[in-house]
């Protein structure tokens, strides 16, 4: 049996959208997306973050996000770098780390030729051109 997360993910590739809105012609890949969309018709927001961390009380809109957060408390780091001995709690963290090894710099400055491996570094750099002082 496939997990519901995998089934939902596969729908991204197949285009299957088995959750139709009864108010308009839109359909969605999962029930959470349909529920979020229905607010545009009803104006009634459902309980936005029903998944609570029992360790710290932080709330999440999706169970998958809570499960990922729980690694902060357990110390579990299932995402291992294939280039060094570092491991990470989330796949996104591993992806950002891999740029250390690949030297990839996907965030390009629109004001000069500089490029950066992280979006936050680009944002800080852009302020040297715009003079913005957010603090």
Per-residue pLDDT of 91-110, as tens digits, reads 999 999 999 999 999 999 99
Q: Which of the pair, 132 or 109, is modelled with greater confidence?
A: 109
Q: Provide mean pLDDT across the span 41-60.
A: 85
Q: pLDDT tens for residues 57-90?
A: 999 988 989 999 999 999 999 999 999 999 999 8
**Model-level pTM greater than 0.75?**
no
Is residue 24 in some structural domain?
yes
Record the tokens describing residue 38, joined without a space: 């229905």
Q: How far apart are CA 29 and CA 55, in angstroms?
A: 31
- pLDDT-derived band at 46, boundaries 50, 70, 90: low
Is residue 84 in some structural domain?
no
Q: How far apart are CA 19 and CA 30, in angstroms?
A: 6
Q: How far apart are CA 29 and CA 120, in angstroms?
A: 31
When the pLDDT of each residue in the chain is averaged and rounded to a whole number, the result is 90
Please report the pLDDT score of residue 43 as a whole number.
81
Q: How far apart are CA 8 and CA 42, in angstroms?
A: 25
Please report the pLDDT score of residue 71 as a whole number.
95
CA 90, distance to chain mean position in Å, is: 10
The whole domain housing 19 covers 4-42
Write the CATH number for 129: 3.30.160
- The domain tally of the chain equals 2
């Amino acid at each position: 049996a496939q997990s519901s997360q995998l089934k939902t993910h596969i729908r991204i590739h197949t285009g299957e959208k088995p959750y139709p809105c009864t108010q308009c012609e839109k359909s969605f890949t999962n029930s959470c997306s349909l529920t979020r969309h229905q607010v545009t018709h009803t104006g009634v927001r459902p309980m936005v973050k029903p998944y609570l961390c029992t360790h710290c009380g932080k709330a999440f809109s999706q169970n998958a996000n809570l499960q990922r957060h729980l690694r902060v408390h357990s110390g579990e780091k299932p995402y291992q770098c294939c280039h060094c001995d570092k491991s990470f709690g989330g796949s996104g963290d591993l992806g950002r780390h891999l740029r250390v090894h690949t030297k990839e710099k996907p965030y390009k400055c629109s004001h000069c030729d500089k490029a950066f491996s992280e979006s936050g570094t680009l944002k800080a750099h852009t302020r040297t051109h715009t003079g913005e002082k957010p603090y």
